[in-house]
Structure 1
Amino acid sequence: MNRKKRTLAAHYRQGVAGEEAAAAYLCAKGYEIWGRNYRFRRAEIDILAFGDGVLVVVEVKTRTRGFYKTLSHTVSPLKIHRLVRAADHYVRAHGLDIEVRFDIIQLCGKPGNYELVHLKNAFYYF
């Protein structure tokens, strides 16, 4: 396996481990996981969770070392637009009449030893 493929595989495993840790964190906080890796067109929602009467769309960001941007700037305007479209599709496809909130969970470190930051209402769209 060449170096680029090895790096991509490691990056993918890191992301999966981060999403697992984020889902476990949400469950421990009383959220119910409704979906993972929900895809609509060119968007993917990492985690769909329900808590406090709200559907929470969670974008998970995982790094082994520190973040260079502030947490609220780790999701681009294009990514936000795609997440909103995917969330709207999910709500309509499931016939839900529910408030939607967009959160970011940032994990820094290695699996089993993450520093986790949960930013609720990371951005407003509706």
Structure 2
Amino acid sequence: MENGKEQSGARKKSSIIVGPWGGNGGSSWDDGIYHGVREITIVYDHCIDSINFVYDKNGKPVTAENHGGVGGSRTAEIKLQYPEEYLTSVNGHYCPIVHGGSPVIRSLAFSSNKRKFRTIWSGRRDAVYTFHGRSIDCRV
């Protein structure tokens, strides 16, 4: 940007902050500002037990603090081909493990500008039984 005007051909970067998601317990966290995400490690069993990120800062990998607990016997690793590959979406599902319990993150799915990573599911997959919504004569 020069004199408050964007140069032609320059790509404008923007961020959207949402969340935190999950149950009412625990504490929120924020890893700070980096240039990109290089790797994600997820440990899970009946829920997502922990998540860890390796970021990029000035061309060097920076491993963030581990978030979550020490449980879980399965591990999923996502390694991006940084800087050519970057995350474009994160989706997930959260619900209680036991009836009446606090909701926890049960699944996570990541997509990049180059590929879609396998969904990390913990526990059973709940079925969709019905839909509801609104519509008028010509639109849903």
Shorter-chain TM-score tier: under 0.3
Q: Which is greater in Rg?
A: 2
Greater RCO (CA < 8 Å, at least 6 residues apart): 1
**Higher-helix-fraction structure:** 1
TM-score, normalised relative to structure 2: 0.24
> What TM-score, normalized to structure 1?
0.26
